[in-house]
Amino acid sequence: MDEIKTDTLCPNCGDCLYYIEYTTEIAYEGKITIHTYHCKSCYYKNVTVDRHDKENPKIIKLKVTNKNDLKTIVYRSPDAYVRIPEIDAEIAPGIASNGYITTVEGIIVSIKDKLSLMGTGEEINYLRQRIDGILSGAEEKVTIVIDDDTGKSKINSSKVEIIDK
């Protein structure tokens, strides 16, 4: 893992950036290469990750029908969309998106937490109540849909439906 001085200038201070490349294997993703540009003067850093292994693109669906389904482990790859159509919610990948391991409950709680960014109107409060009902396991049933062109995402349940794209 050698550091190379480049001709590329730092967008913050104008000094030359240094480059490091590192290839490794990680759980769920397989072989990856991490590309890091950094500035020794102002500590600017830009990191990108290339994934070498791809699977077939797929859509994974899990119908959440009881409180135990909320404990289901989910791996969302950095490139995957997560949707809950019943509440019109979506988690979209971004430029700096990371993969993560969580539970179905963790996904739903994350969506609920983001509602605070949308204000406190009547519609938001109603959606918050619906989500609380879903989390209690006593009310509305929902579907977790993961749309992943890399095919890396997984939902650890025998109840999942996998659709090849």
pLDDT tens per residue, range 82-112: 999 999 999 999 877 778 899 999 999 999 9
Q: What residue ranges of the chain are covered by domains with CATH 2.20.25.420?
A: 3-51
Which residue, 9, 137, 149, is CA-closest to 65? 137
Q: What residue ranges of the chain are covered by domains with CATH 2.60.120.1040?
A: 58-164
Q: Is pLDDT larger for residue 50 or for residue 45?
A: 45
Q: Is pLDDT larger for residue 48 or for residue 71?
A: 71
Cα dihedral 28, 30, 33, 39 sign: positive
CATH of segment(s) 3-51? 2.20.25.420
In percent, the amount of the chain with pLDDT more than 70 equals 98
Please state the separation of Cα 142 from the chain's center in Å: 19
- What is the Cα–Cα distance from 153 to 51, expressed in whole angstroms? 13
Q: Is pLDDT of 15 > 90? A: yes
Q: Is pLDDT of 22 > 70? A: yes
Q: Which residues of 90-110 are buried (b: 16+ CB within 10 A; e: fewer)?
A: ebebeeeeebeebebbebbee
What's the topology of domain 58-164? Answer: Jelly Rolls (2.60.120)
How large is the angle between the packed helices 122-136 and 104-114, nearest 10 degrees? 160
Which residue, 58, 54, 48, is CA-closest to 31? 54
**Mean of pLDDT values over 48-64:** 88
Mean pLDDT of the chain: 90
pTM above 0.85, yes or no: no
Per-residue pLDDT at 42: 97
